[in-house]
Amino acid sequence: MTDIFKEYAIEVVKARGHKNITGKHKTTFEITRDTYLTPKGDCIIGVSADKALSHFSEKFKNIIRNDDSILIIILESGNYSDIVLAHGSKSLTYASDQKIIVRKSTYIDDATACIRSTKAAIDIDRRLINVLKNPNAELRAIFIALRLHKIDSIYEFIGSIIENFPQTNNIPYTS
């Protein structure tokens, strides 16, 4: 099998929970280096982050700044996790030294990590959001940037697995 990924890079961001986390925003979610959160910050799911977009590696930034890149985000705290998928863009700057914003829309500013996300704060597993309401909770956000050879490669890869899967005709069916 061929490697379908041209490039990939991983960044891990650690942040804290906060009593004012509600996770109710319908178009974005945010992780911030700020230590405070007002009740109006309904997109914020983590505070006191150990890094923001400007601190991500150049390799990561170079990968995500392509229209054929995708971003997988794994959010973990306590016994709960959630996965978010999104798209990169050649217009991303990764200039913010305070924020990481994931957007469902295509709007881009210096704090935008990705666009066309599958989830905003309101869509994140409520059990995870409830854990993050505790100021002692730690959020671990794993960002995986991937650049595909071409968008159809993922389907070709899955197809090749199916085609090359060993035949099981000689294995008796058991229920």
For residue range 16-55, list pLDDT tens digits in order: 999 999 999 999 999 999 999 999 999 999 999 999 999 9
User: Please, what is the Cα angle at 28 between 118 and 63, to 5 degrees?
Assistant: 65
State pTM to two decimals. Answer: 0.83
Query: What mean pLDDT is predicted for residues 64-78?
Result: 94
Cβ count within 10 A of residue 96: 19
Tens digits of residue pLDDT in 99-128: 999 999 999 999 999 999 999 999 999 999
* b (16+ CB within 10 A) / e for 144-171: bbbbbeeeebeeebeeeeeeeeeeeeee
Token readout for 110 is 């210096």
Token readout for 104 is 């469902």
pLDDT at 147: 86
Tens digits of residue pLDDT in 146-163: 987 654 555 554 455 455
Cα–Cα distance for residue pair 82/8, rounded to 1 Å: 20
pLDDT at 170: 43
Query: What mean pLDDT is predicted for residues 4-24?
Result: 89
Determine the 3-state secondary structure of 156 from DSSP: helix
